[in-house]
Amino acid sequence: MNLRSGYPFWLAKNGLPFDYPKLEKSTRAEVVIMGGGISGALVAYHLINAGVDCILIDARTIGLGSTCASTALLQYEIDTPLCELKDKVGLKNAVRCYQLCADAITKLGKIAKKTAFADFEFKQSLYYAAYKKDLSFLKEEFGIRKEQGFEVDYLDKTLLKKQFNIDAPGAILSAVGAHTNAYSFTHTLLQNAKKKGVNIFDRTPIVSIDHQKNAVKLTTETGFTVKTKKLVYATGYEAVEFIDKKIVDLHCTFACTSEQANEKEKFWTNDVLIWNTADPYLYMRSTKDRRILIGGRDEEFYSPARRDRLLPGKVKQLVKDFNKVFPRITFNPEFSWAGTFGATSDGLPYIGNYKKLPNSLFALGFGGNGITFSLIAAEILTDIITGRKNSDGQLFSFGRT
């Protein structure tokens, strides 16, 4: 599947920082990770640090699927608001899901520091009402988050204007958030894992997978075989072809970055992450090299060709959307792209064993929280593989619905 179009900013900025070989002989490992994006990289990082022999294989060049198109806003807020998720999975489970995402941001920051990855910054997150009619929902969402111990403040119209110069009916300001460069982070994680013994292969399409009672056998398009005890599917939205029931609806989102600002030019207060209650929602952030990144205007995914045709018009709409929020900030678009993402019925990922494929494990971080979900998946799958108990696994299991 063609997962993106246009020219993602991260790819322009970082290019191809490292080379990885093709698989050119048959091999075996205790665990094989299929997928070399941020999900696969985090799984590899966790497994090798737990002492698990593993290799990673990707059909593409590393990071050139959805990862290089990620806008990498790290928020604990799931696409399904907490006040709605509680009605789907129960209050206790809903709160736990939100807590896990908040903890994941902190853990990702620690991993970035440990691996000397510099393009990671903790930020507050501002969630504002796009319309006056959204105020009752926003206040309900604020109330349940506050009640459950999340560090949030409510800003009415006056405070929002005073603190952030945004004309909107109200907003929730969350203390926990961050932004990063998912593409560069992926390479950093894999280089770290490689030094510890993980063999990484890209441009190696797998053409057949044989799930056996006690093993899995993969065959590459060049006829080499890979034998393993466990296979981790970390191929993102392409993994749905291996599942015999519909678990996700595919959408495409559109994004662009501005030209680089000079050192004296200011954006908005504290460069907080910003998103709103519109459906689809508008989101924006700054970058480390002083650009503004905006995204949204999502559409249902029909075909890459249709998505590509929509891109120029969507960029114009996004710039207009930004100018309505910040009319005094100049936004001259330089890089624009579109990416495919998936939405589940409850907004949660699918993580863990899939019984119809023996010895398989899935790390499917669907939705706007793909990176935080990937961290959660890496922890859960590492516990499963190493035989440790993880009580959170059932929250994201295939059997939950």
Both 26 and 136 in one domain: the answer is no
Which among 32, 63, 22 has a CA at the least distance from the CA of 224? 22
Q: Is the pLDDT of residue 314 over 70?
A: yes
User: What pLDDT digit, counting tens, does each position of 323-363 carry?
Assistant: 999 999 999 999 999 887 778 889 999 999 999 999 999 99
Q: Are strands 125-128 and 273-276 parallel, antiparallel or unpaired?
A: parallel
Within-domain flag for 65: yes
pLDDT at 302: 62
Both 168 and 187 in one domain: the answer is no
Both 23 and 158 in one domain: the answer is no
Q: Is the pLDDT of residue 3 over 50?
A: no
Q: What is the mean pLDDT of residues 211-218?
A: 96
Within-domain flag for 391: yes
Both 14 and 154 in one domain: the answer is no
Domain with residue 377: its CATH number is 3.50.50.60
pLDDT at 4: 46
Band of residue 236 on the pLDDT scale cut at 50, 70, 90: confident
Q: Is the pLDDT of residue 277 over 90?
A: yes
Within-domain flag for 47: yes
Which of 117, 140, 174 corresponds to the end of one domain?
174
Looking up tokens 């059997």, which residue turns up? 399
Q: Is the pLDDT of residue 228 over 50?
A: yes
**Lookup: tokens for 156:** 């009415």
Band of residue 370 on the pLDDT scale cut at 50, 70, 90: confident
Q: Is the pLDDT of residue 6 over 70?
A: no
What residue numbers bound the domain in which 163 lies?
125-174
Q: What is the mean pLDDT of residues 362-390?
A: 93
Question: Domain total for the chain?
Answer: 2
Longest dimension (CA), the chain: 66
Within-domain flag for 99: no
Both 197 and 161 in one domain: the answer is no
Both 65 and 8 in one domain: the answer is yes
Cα–Cα distance measured from residue 340 to residue 12, given in angstroms and rounded to the nearest whole number: 19
Q: What angle, rounded to 10 degrees, do the helices at 135-147 and 82-89 form? A: 70
| Preceding peptide of 205 cis, ω within 30° | no
User: What pLDDT digit, counting tens, does each position of 75-104 carry?
Assistant: 999 999 999 999 999 999 999 999 999 999
Within-domain flag for 17: yes
Which of 115, 146, 174 corresponds to the end of one domain?
174
Within-domain flag for 138: yes
Within-domain flag for 325: no
pLDDT at 67: 92
Both 23 and 143 in one domain: the answer is no
User: DSSP assignment of 129-147, as one string?
Assistant: -SSGGGHHHHHHHHHHHHH
Q: Is the pLDDT of residue 391 over 80?
A: yes
Q: What is the mean pLDDT of residues 273-301?
A: 94
Both 200 and 65 in one domain: the answer is yes
Both 60 and 23 in one domain: the answer is yes
Cβ-based neighbours of 184, under 8 Å, separated by 6 or more: 10, 14, 17, 117, 119
Both 150 and 24 in one domain: the answer is no
Q: How far apart are the first and last CA of the chain?
A: 27
Query: Considering the entire predicted model, what is its pTM?
Result: 0.95
Both 354 and 227 in one domain: the answer is yes
DSSP bridge pairs for 84: none
Within-domain flag for 113: no
Band of residue 169 on the pLDDT scale cut at 50, 70, 90: very high
DSSP bridge pairs for 228: 29, 216
Both 22 and 150 in one domain: the answer is no
pLDDT at 87: 97
pLDDT at 2: 44
